[in-house]
Amino acid sequence: MSARRTTTRRTPATGPRPRRPVRDDARNTAYDVIRAVDERDAYANLLMPRLLRERGLTGRDAALATELAYGTLRGLGTYDAVIEVCTDRAPDPDVRDALRLGTHQLLRMRVPPHAAVGTTVDLVRARIGQGPAKFVNAVLRKIAARTADEWIAVVAQDDPVGRLSVAHSHPRWIVGAFRDALGGDDAETSALLEADNARPLVTLVARPGRSSVGELAESGAAPGRYSPYAAYLPEGDPGQVRAVADYRAAVQDEGSQLVALALARVPLEGPDGRWLDMCAGPGGKAGLLDAIAAYGDPAEGFPGGVHLLAAELQYHRARLVWQTTREAVVVTADSTEPPWRPGVFDRVMLDAPCTGLGALRRRPEARWRRDPASLPELTRLQRRLLAAALDAVRPGGVVAYVTCSPHLAETGLVVDDVLREHADVERLDARAYLPEVADLGDGPDVQLWPHRHGTDAMFLALLRRRR
Ligand SMILES: C[S@@+](CC[C@H](N)C(=O)[O-])C[C@H]1O[C@@H](n2cnc3c(N)ncnc32)[C@H](O)[C@@H]1O
């Protein structure tokens, strides 16, 4: 993984490679995770818990290893820019990863500089060799001479997007997309990027009729800010919460809960017995819609007794939907060539495949893996799926078009384009169905934001087919 492309040259290690790792389990584990992400595209949030378990790291050691690895992976856009001005040659990837780890400790953690440099040099000596250890020592000493803010002033580019990109360690194209979606406001873009660099709260959903926020509170969770089904778990493994293990509750961002809730809240004339989730895997929104549809919720005026059909293209993801829902019928299907008749559903959820730029805070390395080249194909698919959703809904019924991305090309522009071909569709003011949430933008669509709402950056448009 590379925040910028570099040519690499092998630095020969002097002397034999020591085989015994130094006894700094947290730093070694963090380094192993960073290397695995860099070398073989591993997912940090899957690998880290496995290594912690295998190595018996718990408590403060586990927390330190996690902060070292995740913080380094998030920050490497900034760190690479600093390392570049402190080196006269591009380091080998294994050395570069160690430099990133040391730089993170120097610039963003409260590790005393001598410890940040010393532990990194020890690690490099043990894992790579004496020559690279000397090199790392010299580079980290240069980096230690300035604070993070001083370095950012040195390496930041002149234009606003370039400056924000380096200062907040996000790829330039993503900063540009966020800034566009925020109307060109640099201060707000900066706040968003900062929120993206913070670890999100673990949010649970209590599926109505199957669990309750009260039950989750008994496991130490606190009620959510907006969604009546949300609870924040301050610590501990959500998998240990009984309701989560039983699929009566689940881990789910509050933004995902809100968009499902908004769809269920739109008043309908006529029947309201058939709902469709067109892109259901792995089943987060389907799990909540399934419970609302089947069991209802008197507090919200949801009557229950509704049938949900959940469709998903990929079989293994459809199996996850089947596992997490209780009443829904789950099918493996291509929703652009659907096996259902047109005009039969009262409510349709289209949570479209997208770049996922709205959930970058969830995976430390995700921002470096997203590729703007995927956009044209994704936006074509989004248009086809939205057209299919409008075919599937009955006159008077409602479609929720949702993305976990605020990129304008995937949100408002897709809806604008498809509606040009559908004169019989009305775009509702989606904000009206989430009255408990402030700052939802100019409408009619809803855009949630990590820095404003503490949720993922979910987009929602609500579209009603005229009768
Ligand atoms: C953003 S994810 C949906 C997340 C899900 N709604 C949830 O809350 O857990 C998009 C899903 O659409 C599926 N998908 C992509 N193309 C599809 C198609 N043509 N028909 C049905 N599903 C599709 C993907 O496999 C992926 O699981």
DSSP track, 288-329: HHHHHHHH-BGGGTB----EEEEEESSHHHHHHHHHH-SS-E
* Pair (178, 131) in one structural domain: no
* Same domain (yes/no): 45, 105: yes
Q: How confident is the model at residue 1 (pLDDT cuts 50, 70, 90)?
A: low
- The continuous run of DSSP H or E covering 419 comes out as helix 412-420
Picking from 158, 181, 196, the residue at the C-terminal end of a domain is: 196
Residue 10 pLDDT exceeds 50: no
SS3 content of the chain, % helix, strand, coil (to 5): 50, 15, 35
Residue 204 included in any domain: no
Domain count, the chain: 3
**At 31, phi and psi to the nearest 5?**
-60, -40
128 with 52, same domain: the answer is yes
Report the CATH number at residue 120. Answer: 1.10.940.10
What is the position in ligand 1's atom list of the atom closest to the CA of 403? 1
Identify the DSSP state of 231. Answer: E
The helix or strand, by DSSP H or E, that contains position 429, with its residue range, turns out to be: none
| Distance, CA of 285 to CA of 325 (rounded, Å) | 10
Task: Give the DSSP per-residue string, 43-105.
Answer: -HHHHHHHHHHHHT--HHHHHHHHHHHHHHHHHHHHHHHHHHHT-SSPPPHHHHHHHHHHHHH
Q: Tell me if 47 is assigned to some domain.
A: yes
Report the number of secondary-structure helices (H) and strands (E) in the chain.
19, 12
What number is the average pLDDT over the span 174-189?
98
To the query of whether residue 404 is one of the catalytic residues in this protein, the response is: yes
**pLDDT tens readout for residues 240-251:** 999 999 999 999
- Report percent pLDDT > 90 for the chain: 93
- Return the higher-pLDDT residue of 236 and 134: 134
The verdict on residue 13 lying in a domain is: no
For ligand 1, the distance from its centroid to the CA atom of residue 338, given in whole angstroms, is 14
In this predicted structure, what is the pLDDT of residue 235? 86
Residue 93: closest CA among 228, 1, 223 = 1
Residue 84, pLDDT score: 97
What number is the average pLDDT over the span 282-292?
98
Looking at the structure, tell me whether residues 172 and 291 fall in a common domain.
no
Same domain, 362 and 294: yes
Kindly tell me if the per-residue pLDDT of 319 is higher than 80: yes
Tens-place pLDDT, residues 187-207: 999 999 999 999 899 999 999
Question: Is 121 within the bounds of a domain?
Answer: yes
Name which residue sits closest to atom 6 of ligand 1, judged by CA: 280
Q: In this structure, what token pair is assigned to residue 146?
A: 């300035």
In-domain check, residue 216: no
In a domain, 407, yes or no: yes
145 and 179 in a single domain? The answer is no
What pLDDT is attached to residue 237? Answer: 86
The answer to whether 22 touches 122, Cβ cutoff 8 Å, is yes
pLDDT digits (tens, 9 = 90+) for 64-103: 999 999 999 999 999 999 999 999 999 999 999 999 999 9
Residue labelled with tokens 């299907």: 333
Query: Which residues contact ligand 1 via a Cβ below 6 A?
Result: 256, 278-285, 311-314, 317, 334-336, 351, 353
Q: Please give the C-alpha separations between residue 318 and each of 31, 205, 252, 295, 402, in angstroms, as whole numbers.
A: 35, 20, 18, 22, 19
Same domain flag for 267 and 400:
yes
Q: Is 113 exposed, middle or buried (0-12, 13-18, 19+ CB in 10 A)?
A: middle
127/265 same-domain check = no
Regarding whether 117 and 69 lie in a shared domain, the answer is yes
Catalytic residue among 404, 418, 440, 448: 404
Cα–Cα distance measured from residue 229 to residue 261, given in angstroms and rounded to the nearest whole number: 10
CA of 275 to the centre of ligand 1 (A): 16
Mean of the pLDDT values across residues 311-328?
A: 98
Q: How many residues does the chain have?
A: 467
408 and 293 in a single domain? The answer is yes
CATH number at residue 300: 3.40.50.150
The answer on pLDDT for 436 being more than 60 is yes
The b-or-e profile of 424-441 (16+ CB within 10 A means b, else e) is: ebebbebbebbeebeebb
Q: At what angle do helices 113-127 and 25-40 cross, to 10 degrees?
A: 60
pLDDT tier at 16, thresholds 50, 70, 90: very low
Give yes or no for residue 223 having a pLDDT over 70.
yes
Q: Which of 247, 254, 312 to mutate to test the pocket of ligand 1 (most atoms within 8 A of CB)?
A: 312
447-453-454 Cα angle (round to 5):
120
Question: Is the per-residue pLDDT at 15 higher than 50?
Answer: no
d(CA 377, CA 357): 16
CA dist 241 and 304 (Å) reads 26
Residue range 242-271: mean pLDDT, rounded? 97
Is pLDDT of 406 > 70?
A: yes
> Which residue, judged by its Cα, is nearest atom 13 of ligand 1?
279
Is residue 161 classed exposed, middle or buried when 0-12, 13-18 and 19+ CB atoms within 10 A define those classes? buried
> Quick check: 148 pLDDT over 50?
yes
Question: Is it true that the peptide bond before 282 is cis, omega within 30 degrees of 0?
Answer: yes
Q: For ligand 1, pick from 253, 276, 279, 335 the residue to mutate: most ligand atoms within 8 Å of CB.
A: 279
382-399 pLDDT tens trace: 999 999 999 999 999 999
Is-contact 373 405, C-beta < 8 A?
no
What is the rounded distance in angstroms from the CA atom of residue 133 to the CA atom of residue 118?
Answer: 10
Calculate how far, in angstroms, residue 352's C-alpha sits from the geometric centre of ligand 1: 6
121 Ramachandran zone, left/alpha/beta (phi>0; psi -120 to 50)? alpha
* Mean pLDDT of the chain, nearest integer: 94
Of 181, 196, 211, the one marking the end of a domain is 196
Bigger pLDDT: 149 vs 21: 149
Residues 442 and 323 placed together within one structural domain of the fold: yes
Confidence of residue 343 (pLDDT cuts 50, 70, 90): very high
Last residue of a domain, one of 178, 196, 214: 196
- Does residue 378 lie within any of the structural domains? yes
Average pLDDT of the segment spanning 413-440: 98
Q: In terms of domains, do 123 and 185 share one?
A: no
Does a structural domain hold residue 142? yes
Determine the average pLDDT of the residues in 223-246: 94
Q: Which domain holds residue 102?
A: 25-150
